[in-house]
Chain A
């Protein structure tokens, strides 16, 4: 079937909505990455089996939707029941029976599967009342957890492709660009460049062909926003891209997805096939003159290929190395032609802006930072997961209200934002608003939206060392300051962590960092020293303790810590003794155990094994 006009699209939407009304209840099983890892597939299959067997009126197998990421990954697998807005957490196949019997049939709530508020101890029946959800505003993630993942019919049912229809049939390209410019939408990939201005520059160039590309090369450790969108709601990305292509006059587009996201690769391609079948991409879309073709381009997993010029080389089949951008890629991009490159989340915002207007969008967020930002909240926070908040929300609100605070109520130490090239912000900045400009001013950055929360058991030297190592591995190796400079900066960080650094090492690291920042070719190198620069800015004492006192205050750096057993707490249970792979612990049952410091390798296995917190690390 091909949709030839806007009228037909609207008719199809009405028909799909009508069909949906026959379901008395819908069961939304989250098939996001976190839930799948926790066994969501088995839960989904059990539902299918039971629904087929029981033949419940108004709840056929079609009422079961396998959705994209619902958000609260900490409590996965998640099952939501609509329209009741009930959310069941940590659902196992054995619970399916009861869910169908009680909730699906009669709307009765199963207490024990509900989310428990850690402060009040109360169970929360309706997920919009859970703080994790109530503090969010979802634009880019609006369909995740709400519709069948990668299903064009479900997408059209909730209004999908209407914004595209409006754009290509009722708006002129200039008007679209004006609307996006007025909305103040800034690049969600991290740079924060005004999207409208980028499109306008491309549209003005008198050269063709032009291209639009979607950057789905999300590579920051701990970031999974773009993945969730590509897997769970790929059509919103396509719709945004079609609008962009129409606005700038492009007839070809590429979605660059990293190979490590196999489901995203498959779903983007499936979405394209579905859209092509309905004629929503291809020739003469909705009966207009506009033709647009889309292709999936797979990346081989190089972090640097998220950088625009390297990404375009990779799409063209060359080695993914950045080039100097004295001529910008919007003018000379893919195959040296004018190219608009935006990130997944940016495109996901576009249909909503076209639909609801720039004024609506600027009403959300903060000055010069309109709209929302998606974050993947992870680390030592209670509620890890995928969130979207208005720009300008404070770190405290994100970490304590949405995130539910630090696990085991330990003290908050820092939050890492912006991926490896970002930085760590300490507790003194918990009340700053999260937006592009504030984070940059404080020495971190927005980045693509990874947010890693750290408690007092985290050593900042160790964190810097980890991210520097990541960047050393991921440097493309083209230019000297990044390839050799980051390697040596990491080498010096290891020396600090091992307690063998010489006096003046910090000053040396600072000088080297400055040269890397000035001298590197691309953004990866220029921001490469950030893991060091942001931690030294706020945690200089901790570095000095390693160098001067040969101590790791957080008890992490293995060369600088000793493990001892506290006689007051040890009950001689022999758990640590069994856990030690090096036989460094001696002792008899119900007697105090002793760690032989000569043999101990500081691996920490005993600490994990001990149930009485009897092992001191210092």
Chain B
């Protein structure tokens, strides 16, 4: 355990914990757009930056991303110093120039008093904020189907060579975790389409509805040891079956 001071309050934390975790546990609102519990911290959006110092630093201060700065004994943290707020406002002002029509960015910017960017808006804006959650989740799943391509202001998220990605299994981890809903997909219960690739779904023997792509089911069977039979009925049918069984047990116990 280490003890540190956050906004004047002395708190205890497990060593190895990141500052942001502790800050949020205290109920302090620090924005972070590229942070996601399922993946390693990334430090790209910079919104979670805080001011740190120590008594022993003789007045020297540093600004660090709290999402990947591990707690330290005697650290003194300010989450809303004047400089930190100025930095967050600038970052949101810049983000609003890139994503002027994205509700998430609009809302965060508005919370910091910015309704219109003071910089030059991009000509054809989209909703991708380049937080990298999609690619990191895809990597964590073990597929590496998409990645960031190009660099600098022209950076974007795409499958290799902008072709339908061969390594994608259509699991939707990228789309469902995209904070702005930029990654689109369609799903009619029989087929699913994402990244310009169409996947057949394994349909439920009971309902005829599909939930999992064939490729994803095959992957889970081969690499995660989930029996093939599991996918023959979908989760909903599983739940219904389970509820039925539980109900039956309860009824039978009552009867006893």
Q: Which residues of the other chain, A, contact B39 by a CB distance below 8 angstroms?
A: none
A487, B64: Cα distance in complex, Å? 22
Closest residue of chain B to A327 (Cβ to Cβ) is B70
Q: Which residues of the other chain, B, contact A302 by a CB distance below 8 angstroms?
A: 151
A324, B132: Cα distance in complex, Å? 15
**B6-19 toward A: CB 8 Å interface, digit per residue (1/0)?**
00000000000000
A545, B216: Cα distance in complex, Å? 63
Q: Does B59 contact A (CB under 8 A)?
A: no
Which one, B43, B118, B120, B151, contacts A521 given CB within 8 A?
Answer: B43
A491 touches B46 (CB 8 A): no
Q: Which residues of the other chain, A, contact B69 by a CB distance below 8 angstroms?
A: 324, 326
A519 touches B44 (CB 8 A): no
Q: Does A481 contact B (CB under 8 A)?
A: yes
Using C-beta atoms within 8 Å of the partner chain, give the interface range for chain A: 20 to 34
| Known A515-B90, A519-B63; contact A487-B152, beta-carbon cutoff 8 A | yes
A515 touches B91 (CB 8 A): yes
A518 touches B63 (CB 8 A): yes
Q: Which residues of the other chain, A, contact B64 by a CB distance below 8 angstroms?
A: 324, 326
Q: Does A484 contact B (CB under 8 A)?
A: yes
| Known A480-B44, A484-B95; contact A518-B87, beta-carbon cutoff 8 A | yes
- Least CB distance from B107 to A in Å reads 17
B83-135 with Cβ < 8 A to chain A: 83, 86-87, 90-91, 94-95, 97-98, 118-120, 130, 132
A483 touches B153 (CB 8 A): yes
Q: Does B49 contact A (CB under 8 A)?
A: yes
B90 touches A519 (CB 8 A): yes
- Would you list 27 pairs from A and B whose C-beta atoms are within 8 A, ordered by A residue? A304-B151, A319-B147, A324-B43, A474-B151, A477-B130, A477-B151, A477-B155, A478-B44, A478-B130, A480-B44, A480-B95, A481-B94, A483-B152, A484-B95, A487-B152, A488-B94, A488-B97, A488-B120, A491-B119, A512-B90, A515-B90, A518-B83, A518-B87, A519-B46, A519-B90, A520-B46, A521-B46
- Least CB distance from B142 to A in Å reads 15
Q: Which residues of the other chain, A, contact B150 by a CB distance below 8 angstroms?
A: 477
A515, B84: Cα distance in complex, Å? 9
A476 touches B65 (CB 8 A): no
- Secondary structure type dominating chain A contacts: helix
B70 touches A484 (CB 8 A): no
Q: Does A473 contact B (CB under 8 A)?
A: yes
A326, B41: Cα distance in complex, Å? 13
Q: Which residues of the other chain, A, contact B75 by a CB distance below 8 angstroms?
A: none
A326, B65: Cα distance in complex, Å? 10
Point out residues on A near B: beta carbons under 8 Å.
302, 304, 319, 323-324, 326, 472-481, 483-485, 487-488, 491, 508, 511-512, 515, 518-521
Which one, A304, A319, A472, contacts B153 given CB within 8 A?
Answer: A472
Q: Which residues of the other chain, A, contact B70 by a CB distance below 8 angstroms?
A: 326
Q: Does B250 contact A (CB under 8 A)?
A: no
B13-29 with Cβ < 8 A to chain A: none
A480-B95, A484-B153, A488-B97 given; 15 more Cβ-contact pairs under 8 Å:
A324-B43, A326-B64, A473-B152, A476-B152, A477-B153, A477-B154, A477-B155, A478-B130, A478-B155, A479-B43, A479-B45, A480-B46, A485-B90, A508-B118, A520-B46
| Known A477-B130, A479-B46; contact A515-B87, beta-carbon cutoff 8 A | yes
- The residue among B64, B65, B86, B91 with the most chain A CB atoms within 10 A of its own CB is B91
Which one, A476, A481, A488, A491, contacts B151 given CB within 8 A?
Answer: A476
Which one, A474, A477, A481, A487, contacts B46 given CB within 8 A?
Answer: A481
Q: Does B175 contact A (CB under 8 A)?
A: no
Closest residue of chain A to B150 (Cβ to Cβ) is A477
| Known A324-B43, A518-B63; contact A484-B94, beta-carbon cutoff 8 A | yes
B154 touches A326 (CB 8 A): no
A485, B152: Cα distance in complex, Å? 11
| Known A323-B43, A326-B69, A488-B94; contact A475-B49, beta-carbon cutoff 8 A | no
- Least CB distance from A331 to B in Å reads 13
A481, B148: Cα distance in complex, Å? 18
A326, B95: Cα distance in complex, Å? 25
- Least CB distance from B101 to A in Å reads 16
Q: Which residues of the other chain, B, contact A484 by a CB distance below 8 angstroms?
A: 94-95, 97-98, 119, 153
Q: Does B30 contact A (CB under 8 A)?
A: no
- Least CB distance from A472 to B in Å reads 6
Q: 4 shortest A-B CB distances, which residue pairs?
A: A477-B155, A484-B94, A515-B90, A475-B152
A560, B95: Cα distance in complex, Å? 32
Q: Which residues of the other chain, A, contact B86 by a CB distance below 8 angstroms?
A: 511, 515
Closest residue of chain B to A489 (Cβ to Cβ) is B119
B154 touches A480 (CB 8 A): no
Q: Does B218 contact A (CB under 8 A)?
A: no
A302, B42: Cα distance in complex, Å? 20
Q: Does B68 contact A (CB under 8 A)?
A: yes
